[in-house]
Amino acid sequence: MIIRSKAPLRLGLAGGGTDVSPYSDIYGGCILNATTSLYAYCDIIPTNSGTINFFLQDKNEKYSYKSERTLPIDGEIDLLKAIYNRIVKDYSLDALSFDMHTFVDAPAGSGLGTSSTLVVAIVGAFTEWLSLPLGEYDIANLAYKIEREDLLLAGGKQDQYAATFGGFNFMEFFADDKVIVNPLRIREETLDELSRNIVLYYTETSRNSSDIIQLQQENVKHKNKESLEAMHKLKEQAIMMKEALLRNNLDEIGHILNIGWEFKKQMAKGITTQLFEDVYSSALKAGAIGGKISGAGGGGYIFFYCPNNTRYDVIQSISKFGGTVRRFEFTEKGLKTWKN
């Protein structure tokens, strides 16, 4: 028997960063994101071998451990081991034996929520295998707690909920980890046109998002006026983006992205780089209306809204920077699990 799962990676369209504590606890956060046809995958094959084997297929790496109730958190694939430890602990399970294969369609640190999405996929696979009583909110919350509480990794809450629920969602974040996911009903032709008009560009660089997020958190704690005002404006941007999508005002989306990008850069140092500024400027000159970096910043993917047929000119203009354009579609489904 093979237990399989997949969870979609996301694009954060508006409000990015307002889902991070302590801002979301004090002021409440708003995010609008959408899932893509890029995925994190997990396969679990139960065995009686007395071992636990992790195969990271996208990295061509293998790690093996003796089956125990708790695996060591020692800097070696801690994310995967922490998921196993939490599942066994929370549900009072005996030590398990299995082979786990994982694969992600985008590199770590690329800004598409890869790590959190992989956590959701793995939690989903365990839920399918062990028939755990977890609904969508439960899976997303557990994935969040594993990263933020068990491993103390800096970050927000949107990635786990986007990967679990899927589709276009307007999310609200409050104190005490309260999250409300509001799915948006968007016409199919609107989704097709939006996918057609967005150019997703990988700069072939990556970053450690936790460093930027920690700076952002410090700015909130110390009530940095410029940073706080930028976050307040990004919340407003999320509401503007929601209204534009529901009213089918697609070209307005580019302008909203551009506004958001200017405010996002004010949240913390390191969000933008000279490479990003050069790529962004070139894309606008070629016909893009607006765009933004995906994720916390500092590296990874950047995307642009290109109306009419300007996408071809934009792709040509940014190709000189050595990155790669990635084709994708927006998707309506989140986490999927099944047995083979």
Place of tokens 């599942």: 87
SS3 194: helix
- Active-site annotation holder among 99, 105, 159, 278: 159
Using alpha carbons, select from 159, 149, 158, 152 the residue that is nearest to residue 108.
159
Cα–Cα distance, 264 to 20 (Å, whole number): 13
Q: Evaluate whether 99 touches 53 at the Cβ level (below 8 Å).
A: yes
Place of tokens 């509401």: 239
Instruction: Name the pairing type of β-strands 336-339 and 179-183.
Output: unpaired
Q: What is the DSSP string of 229-282?
A: HHHHHHHHHHHHHHHHHHTT-HHHHHHHHHHHHHHHTTTSTTS--HHHHHHHHH
Cβ density class 80-103: b for 16+ within 10 Å, e for less: bbbbbbbbbeeeeeeebbbbbbbb
Question: Is 211 a catalytic site residue?
Answer: no
Cα–Cα distance, 323 to 328 (Å, whole number): 16
CA 105 to each of CA 40, 160, 183: distance values in angstroms, whole numbers, following the listed order? 6, 17, 24
Q: Evaluate whether 201 touches 324 at the Cβ level (below 8 Å).
A: yes
Cα–Cα distance, 163 to 167 (Å, whole number): 9
Q: Evaluate whether 261 touches 290 at the Cβ level (below 8 Å).
A: yes
Q: Which residues are catalytic?
A: 159
